[in-house]
Amino acid sequence: MASILTQLAELKASPVGKTVNARLFEFKKLGQSTEEKIFLELCFCLLTANYSAEGGIRIQRAIGKGFLTLNENEMAAELKKHGYRFPNTRAARLVRAREHLGKIKPALASFQDEKQLRQWLVANVYGFGYKESSHFLRNIGYESLAIVDFHIVDLLEKCTLAERPKTMTPKRYLELESCLEKLGRKAGMTLAELDLYLWYIETGKVLK
């Protein structure tokens, strides 16, 4: 663990630290914005499930407010046009997500506990598991949930902090989240902050 803690401390003191802080500020700002903007971020997190963050960002920019208006066939055609891997199934999820439009901010305000809020999202947003729900909440300013992506798991395995599971069950997800919580405490970072640094270590990029 010592080597990863040293690496995290060095990154925090480097220009990467400023980039991470700026990204966290953007997340907070988004969480205080309109229902529509928050819904569009929810759509982004549906897009990136089993897909790259960079690809999701590109498609989010291309479709824009179409996430609010396109019907399922139109959405599938747009996703296919932009090279998305699962155009039909994901179009259905994106259109179905509109049933929550107008209800997201009230739902967010009704929970004090982030893990309970995540559980509500898992239970109510079709296509959201723990990872997608954590990703969405992190991207709108929440700080206490881990985005347990296999890139992150591979890094934990390299540092002998955890073993890569064959499948990501909810139980295993929470165990890995606990491992990241311990690392975050040692590093003096929130899980939101830690995720951005770990992602940078693995990919050389600070995305969302």
d(CA 83, CA 105): 32
d(CA 68, CA 72): 11
Catalytic residue among 81, 103, 113, 149: 149
Quick check: is 166 catalytic? no
Quick check: is 131 catalytic? yes
d(CA 126, CA 134): 14
SS3 content of the chain, % helix, strand, coil (to 5): 70, 0, 30
Q: At what angle do helices 130-139 and 35-47 cross, to 10 degrees?
A: 140
Chain-centre distance for alpha carbon 91:
19
User: Please, what is the Cα angle at 140 between 135 and 146, to 5 degrees?
Assistant: 35
d(CA 94, CA 47): 8
CA proximity to 120, closest of 109, 133, 131:
133
Catalytic residue among 28, 80, 113, 131: 131
Active site residues per annotation: 131, 149
